[in-house]
């Protein structure tokens, strides 16, 4: 039987032709309902995706996402119906890592104050001792997977050896030391920056809550480039108000887009970006490369060699 892939990610004619060289048939969102059963999905759409996945006449056994996260998929249904999911883990790590370094430098080197002063045409030099070097900061990264490792690699280039937090505390290259989630408190007392790069799982929802932030005493920078639901936004706002956290850079939020009436927009010590840290024109080719490798193998023998996720774990 010919594998029929519903492409919910835009493809050029050339890209589609390359994919069909594997022997699979590529179907668009405009005509999937009028043809033979779909067996795989590339990309996702919150309306078309579930409709195609759950249509009685379809036989979807595999979803290839264009994202690293898979938490937006109907994972319970997917698990119950033995659908395999591969993701684009690793593709976006370099761009997210570069953005994270930008966030750190923005606050550590005082660019945040310079931007505010420029808006008022106000020349005001900071005190020399108010600025630091990235090399001397104690940085704690939650999540030591592809994104965390990419951040650590760039920090190493600045002469900084960050600390890592993961589920078990297993060692990871690029980190000075790693601890388990259960022991993360041992790193926080004198931390200068905390970066969330954890995936979205049941264990990470609101991990950064009131109790977490109350452990901090004037943390210079809190950064979230992981998942929005990992952070209790009200708890973070309280921490910023009471100076448990002095500055925050946020790319992801509990609800997106961030509500126009959210008070976070007006916090002078917060930098908000609209879930853009993974964006880079260079990402298109590696996403397609992952998909093509998996599709070639899928057509040949049903295997998925690249980035097969554990749906039960959520990543």
Return the exposure string of 281-310: e unless at least 16 CB atoms fall within 10 Å of the residue's CB, then b: eebeeebbebbbbbbbebeeeeebebbebe
Whether 52 is covered by a domain: the verdict is yes
Q: Can you give the CATH number for the domain in which 208 is found?
A: 3.40.50.720
Give CA–CA dist 31/19, Å, rounded. 18
Our CA angle for 107, 209, 213, nearest 5°, is 45
pLDDT at 21: 97
Q: What residue numbers bound the domain in which 27 lies?
A: 4-89+281-301
Interior/surface letters 59-84, b for 16+ CB within 10 angstroms, e for the rest: ebbbbbbbbbbbbebebeebeeeebb
Residues 67 and 200 sit within 8 Å (Cβ to Cβ):
no
For the chain, what percent of residues have pLDDT higher than 70? 100
Considering the domain architecture, whether residues 31 and 139 belong to the same structural domain is answered as no
Domain count of the chain?
2
CA distance 11 to 90: 21
Q: Give dist(CA 156, CA 175) in Å, integer.
A: 9
Helix or strand (DSSP H, E) at 76: helix 75-80
Pair (128, 263) in one structural domain = yes
Assign 153 a pLDDT band (cuts: 50, 70, 90).
Answer: very high
Say whether both 139 and 9 belong to one domain: no
Longest dimension (CA), the chain: 71
**Bond from prior residue into 281 cis (ω within 30 degrees of 0):** no
151 in the same domain as 84: no
Note the residue count of the chain.
315
pLDDT value at 35 more than 80: no
| 130 and 262 co-located in one domain | yes
Q: What is the pLDDT of residue 86?
A: 98
pLDDT at 36: 86
Residues 27 and 43 in one domain: yes
Instruction: Supply the pLDDT for residue 75.
Output: 96
Note whether 232 and 214 are within 8 A (CB).
Answer: no
| pLDDT at residue 161 tops 80 | yes
Q: Are residues 105 and 69 in the same domain?
A: no
| pLDDT of 192 strictly over 90 | yes
Q: At what angle do helices 146-157 and 93-108 cross, to 10 degrees?
A: 50
Distance between alpha carbon 77 and the CA centroid of its chain, in Å?
Answer: 23
Contacts for 43 with CB less than 8 Å, ≥ 6 apart: 7, 8, 9, 64, 65, 66
Q: Does 314 fall in a domain?
A: no
pLDDT over threshold 90, residue 31: no
Region 277-305 average pLDDT: 97
Both 170 and 213 in one domain: the answer is yes
pLDDT the model gives residue 201: 87
DSSP 208: B
For residues 9 and 82, membership in a common domain is answered with yes
**How many percent of the chain have pLDDT more than 90?**
95
Q: pLDDT tens digits, residue range 209-260?
A: 999 999 999 999 999 999 999 999 999 999 999 999 999 999 999 999 999 9
Mean per-residue pLDDT for 81-97? 98
pLDDT of residue 32: 86
Which pLDDT tens digit goes with each residue over 92-143?
999 999 999 999 999 999 999 999 999 999 999 999 999 999 999 999 999 9
CB 14 within 8 A of CB 49: no
Averaged confidence pLDDT in the chain = 96
Among candidate residues 295, 298, 302, 287, the one with its CA nearest the CA of residue 67:
287
Identify the pLDDT of residue 56.
93
Mean pLDDT lowest for which of 26-30, 77-81, 150-154, 297-301? 26-30
pLDDT score at 18:
96
Q: Are 216 and 289 members of one domain?
A: no
pLDDT given at position 200 = 87
| Residue 313 is assigned to a structural domain of this protein | no
The CA distances from residue 240 to 4, 186, 195, 249, in Å, are 51, 22, 16, 12
- Is residue 223 classed as helix, strand or coil in its secondary structure? strand
Is 309 part of a structural domain of the chain?
A: no
Q: Is the pLDDT of residue 34 over 80?
A: no
Check whether 1 has a pLDDT greater than 90: no
């Amino acid at each position: 039987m010919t594998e029929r892939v519903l492409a919910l990610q835009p493809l050029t004619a050339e890209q589609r032709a390359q994919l069909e060289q594997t022997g699979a048939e590529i179907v668009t969102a405009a005509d999937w309902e009028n043809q033979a059963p779909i067996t795989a999905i590339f990309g996702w759409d919150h309306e078309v995706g579930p409709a195609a996945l759950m249509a009685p006449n379809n036989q979807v056994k595999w979803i290839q996402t264009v994202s690293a996260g898979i938490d937006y998929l109907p994972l319970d249904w997917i698990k119950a119906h033995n659908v395999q999911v591969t993701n684009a883990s690793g593709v976006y790590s370099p761009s997210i890592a570069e953005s994270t370094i930008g966030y750190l430098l923005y606050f550590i080197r005082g660019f945040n104050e310079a931007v505010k002063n420029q808006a008022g045409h106000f020349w005001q030099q900071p005190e020399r001792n108010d600025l630091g070097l990235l090399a001397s900061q104690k940085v704690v990264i939650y999540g030591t997977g592809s994104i965390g490792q990419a951040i650590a690699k760039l920090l190493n280039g600045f002469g900084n050896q960050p600390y890592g937090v993961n589920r078990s505390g297993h060692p990871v290259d690029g980190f000075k030391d790693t601890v388990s989630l259960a022991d993360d408190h041992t790193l926080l007392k004198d931390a200068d920056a905390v970066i969330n790069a954890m995936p979205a799982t049941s264990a990470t929802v609101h991990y950064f809550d009131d109790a977490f932030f109350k452990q901090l005493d004037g943390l210079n920078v809190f950064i979230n480039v992981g998942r929005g639901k990992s952070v209790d936004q009200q708890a973070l706002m309280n921490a910023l108000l009471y100076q448990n956290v002095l500055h925050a850079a946020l790319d992801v939020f509990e609800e997106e887009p961030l509500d126009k009436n959210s008070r976070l927009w007006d916090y002078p010590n917060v930098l908000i970006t609209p879930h853009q840290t993974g964006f880079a024109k260079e990402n298109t080719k590696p996403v397609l490369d992952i998909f093509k490798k998996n599709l070639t193998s899928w057509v040949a023998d049903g295997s998925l060699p690249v980035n097969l996720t554990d749906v039960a774990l959520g990543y």
